[in-house]
């Protein structure tokens, strides 16, 4: 599922694909990905536009085109942007399955937004900069752009009795962290995911902040250029995570059997030995 590293990868890829290119056509299927906006805005507002910049805040992609038109793209649980290049082998030119919207560029390539489960979102913004959308303004510090400052994170957690795993999923606390990287970081920091947030000491929060930075950096380094594959897609996609989705397996650190629990409606793997 796309979290900060995957969305950062998407931002870098879109930046490369769209740089210097002009959109010739924009087409889409009328689905719920356009909630908060409209398919008509997508199809009418983007042709003739050239990219000015691509930003990322948390799990949101923010595209700004010349003339002040912006696009907010959230990948939801299964969304991704993929490219089909003119002149490539036929299997790389065909419309990908579950394509919900696409942009045809002046070099003949097409960028498709693919989303099997339709939890993603595309909103075209014309009245103000896309970064001024209320949903973007409500985000907390971005874990990559702003960094994970231990003192600020401790202050935010000290106000909450929620389990630390649930608090980390709150995008107003720290933007970009989701179920996977919260699970990985809490294991790396040796913190029980069910502990009340306000029970963490400053030292533990500092250790957690370092773990968050570490798992994000490691994951970004492992993601290769081009089309990304999510673990949820199956089809032989390898699990590159240390304990996420590995409940029932031995802990790679102490050998005890990894367990799972449900916190905030999300399944969480943890080690009963390393995360007391």
Q: Which residues are known catalytic residues?
A: 2-3, 59, 266
- Sign of the dihedral defined by the CA atoms of residues 84, 90, 95, 97, in that order: negative
- Specify whether the CB–CB gap between 23 and 45 falls below 8 A: no
Between the alpha carbon of residue 276 and those of residues 122, 187, 245, 271, the distances in Å are 42, 10, 19, 8
Residue 50 has what DSSP assignment? B
Which residues 6+ apart lie within 8 Å of 199 measured at CB? none
Which residues 6+ apart lie within 8 Å of 206 measured at CB? 150, 154
Tokens of 185: 């970081």
């Amino acid at each position: 599922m796309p979290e900060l590293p995957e969305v950062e990868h998407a931002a870098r890829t879109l930046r490369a694909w769209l740089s210097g290119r002009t959109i010739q056509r924009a087409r889409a299927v009328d689905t719920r990905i356009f909630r908060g906006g409209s398919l008509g805005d997508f199809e009418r507002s983007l042709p003739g536009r050239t990219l000015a910049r691509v930003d990322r805040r948390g799990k949101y992609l923010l595209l700004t085109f010349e003339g002040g038109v912006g696009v907010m793209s959230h990948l939801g649980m299964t969304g991704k942007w993929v490219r089909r290049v003119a002149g490539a082998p036929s299997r790389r030119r065909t419309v990908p399955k579950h394509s919900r919207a696409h942009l045809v560029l002046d070099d003949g390539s097409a960028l498709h937004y693919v989303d099997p489960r339709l939890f993603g979102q595309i909103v075209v913004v014309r009245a103000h900069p896309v970064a001024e959308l209320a949903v973007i303004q409500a985000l907390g510090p971005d874990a990559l752009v702003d960094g994970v400052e231990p003192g600020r994170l401790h202050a935010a957690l000290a106000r909450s009795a929620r389990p630390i795993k649930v608090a980390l999923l709150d995008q107003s606390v720290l933007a970009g962290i989701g179920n996977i990287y919260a699970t990985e970081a809490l294991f790396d920091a040796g913190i029980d995911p069910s502990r009340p947030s306000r029970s963490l000491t400053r030292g533990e929060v500092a250790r957690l902040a370092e773990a968050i930075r570490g798992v994000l950096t490691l994951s970004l380094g492992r993601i290769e250029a081009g089309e990304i594959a999510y673990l949820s897609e199956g089809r032989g996609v390898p699990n590159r995570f240390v304990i996420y989705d590995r409940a029932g397996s031995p802990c790679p650190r102490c050998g005890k059997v990894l367990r799972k629990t449900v916190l905030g409606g999300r399944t969480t793997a943890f080690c009963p030995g390393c995360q007391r």
